[in-house]
Amino acid sequence: MKKIIVVFSLCLIGFSFQAQEKKEIKKNKNAKITLTVDGICGMCKKRIETASLKTKGVKFAIWDVKTHQLNLILDERKTAVAAVQKNILAIGHDILLEKGRKLVSAKEAYESVHPCCKYRDSEIVLEHDGGFTKQEK
Q: Tell me the pLDDT tens digit for each residue of 8-50.
A: 666 656 666 554 544 557 888 888 999 999 999 999 999 999 9
Does residue 116 fall inside a structural domain?
Answer: yes
CATH of the domain at 85: 3.30.70.100
Q: What confidence score (pLDDT) does residue 89 get?
A: 96
Does residue 89 fall inside a structural domain?
Answer: yes
Does residue 11 fall inside a structural domain?
Answer: no
Count of domains forming the chain? 1
Does residue 42 fall inside a structural domain?
Answer: yes
Within 1-137, strands assigned E span: 31-37, 58-63, 69-74, 95-96, 102-103
Does residue 137 fall inside a structural domain?
Answer: no
Does residue 118 fall inside a structural domain?
Answer: yes
Q: What confidence score (pLDDT) does residue 121 get?
A: 86
Does residue 41 fall inside a structural domain?
Answer: yes
Per-chain mean pLDDT for the chain: 83
Give residue 13's identity as a one-letter amino acid code.
I
pLDDT tens readout for residues 59-110: 999 999 999 999 999 999 999 999 999 999 999 999 999 888 999 999 999 9
Instruction: Say what the pTM is.
Output: 0.74
By residue range, what is the domain housing residue 41?
Answer: 31-127
Q: What confidence score (pLDDT) does residue 38 get?
A: 93
pLDDT tens readout for residues 109-137: 999 999 988 988 888 888 876 544 444 44
Does residue 38 fall inside a structural domain?
Answer: yes
- Helices then strands, counting H and E runs in the chain, come out as 5, 5
- Find the mean pLDDT for residues 54-58: 94
Whole-angstrom distance, CA of residue 48 vs CA of residue 54: 10
